[in-house]
């Protein structure tokens, strides 16, 4: 069987890389007030951060329609695929996975589509999708790829420190970090998103201490794979890379957060994604 992988733009995989890996990207929408943009299509990552810095309005996101997923599934079918695995950002954070499932249900009599909740975002989701695409290229079946994705989902870890909770609070994704709202001016919020939800993982008084907290998380993680530094236009990302350099044996990717996750993380968010054994 020939299996194709579909995901959404919260995976922070560029359209160019997606094309090279035979991955279909279904974009979310980004809104600044009354203006709405299709992620990656008419709003680039650099344009998003410029607009966020210049605008008094906090951006918001909207999930794709089921029709957008149906169109992606149809493109896969027309390209010769025998089935699709659709891997989306955490259901706890977005209605995107629900839209994908509605589309899959509508397609079920025509074409087999399996939707999987990654319980992840940004490069955590991106790592899962890339590995699933590699398995599909190697001829693995839908069942084999589904088992791989479920395994990767359990092994994915995401930690981040924010400069502000305002974006997360406005977007309604604050989850288990609610208690931090009253003290956000005095602390740098530290979050654990490994479960697919926003969970408070600590509070640090300064940016420097929050970066040291991230280093400690990585140090205690032991052996990891696919390590990635994620950031939302953070000016100190190279400084942080140097801070963890002695803990890294196989290199580290640096990935600027796309508009979807950048909308909720806000400016200068910085974090880590990786797989544990």
Write the pLDDT tens digit of every residue in 231-263: 999 999 999 999 999 999 888 999 999 999 998
Report the domain count for the chain: 2
Q: Which of 153, 177, 202 is the last residue of a domain?
A: 153
- Looking at the DSSP bridge assignments, the partners of residue 117 are 88
- Do 235 and 176 fall into the same domain? yes
Mean of the per-residue pLDDT values of the chain: 92
How far is Cα 164 from Cα 141, in angstroms, rounded to an integer? 43
- Do 148 and 181 fall into the same domain? no
Q: Beta 3-8 vs 23-26: how paired, if at all?
A: parallel
Q: How confident is the model at residue 65 (pLDDT cuts 50, 70, 90)?
A: very high
Three-state DSSP at 225 gives strand
Residue 182 has pLDDT above 50, yes or no: no
Three-state DSSP at 125 gives helix
CATH for 39: 3.40.50.10170
The DSSP 8-state label assigned to residue 156 in this structure reads E
Residue 180 has pLDDT above 70, yes or no: no
State pLDDT tens for residues 189-236: 899 999 999 998 988 989 999 999 999 999 999 999 999 999 999 999
- Do 140 and 237 fall into the same domain? no
State phi, psi for 230 to the nearest 5 degrees.
Answer: -110, 145
CATH for 261: 3.30.1180.10
Q: Which of 136, 153, 170 is the last residue of a domain?
A: 153
- Do 17 and 74 fall into the same domain? yes
State pLDDT tens for residues 70-107: 999 999 999 999 999 999 999 999 999 999 999 999 99
- Is residue 189 within 8 A of residue 180, CB to CB? The reply is yes
Range of the domain at 37: 3-153
Whole-model pTM above 0.95?
no
């Amino acid at each position: 069987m020939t299996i194709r992988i579909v995901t959404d733009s919260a995976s922070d995989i560029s359209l160019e890389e997606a094309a090279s890996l035979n991955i279909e990207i279904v974009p979310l929408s980004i809104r600044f007030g009354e203006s709405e943009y299709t992620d990656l299509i008419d709003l680039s990552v650099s344009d998003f951060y410029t607009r966020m810095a210049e605008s008094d309005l906090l951006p918001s996101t909207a999930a794709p329609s089921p029709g957008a997923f149906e169109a992606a599934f149809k493109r896969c079918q027309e390209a010769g695929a025998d089935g699709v695995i659709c891997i989306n950002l955490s259901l706890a954070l977005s209605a995107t996975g629900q839209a994908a499932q509605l589309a899959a249900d509508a397609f079920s009599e025509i074409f087999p589509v399996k939707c999987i909740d990654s319980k992840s975002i940004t490069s955590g989701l991106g790592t899962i999708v890339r590995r699933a695409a590699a398995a599909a290229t190697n001829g693995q079946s839908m069942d084999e790829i589904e088992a791989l994705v479920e395994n990767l989902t359990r092994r994915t870890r995401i930690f981040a420190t924010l400069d502000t909770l305002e974006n997360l609070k406005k977007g309604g994704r604050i989850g288990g970090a609610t208690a931090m709202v009253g003290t956000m001016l005095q602390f740098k919020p530290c979050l654990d998103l490994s479960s697919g939800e926003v969970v408070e993982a600590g509070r640090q008084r300064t940016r420097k201490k929050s970066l040291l907290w991230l280093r400690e998380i990585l140090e205690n993680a032991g052996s990891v794979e696919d390590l990635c530094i994620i950031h939302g236009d953070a000016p100190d990302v190279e400084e942080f890379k140097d801070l963890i350099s002695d803990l890294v044996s196989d290199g580290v990717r640096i990935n600027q957060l796309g508009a979807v996750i950048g909308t909720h993380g806000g400016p200068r968010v910085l974090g880590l994604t990786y797989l544990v054994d």
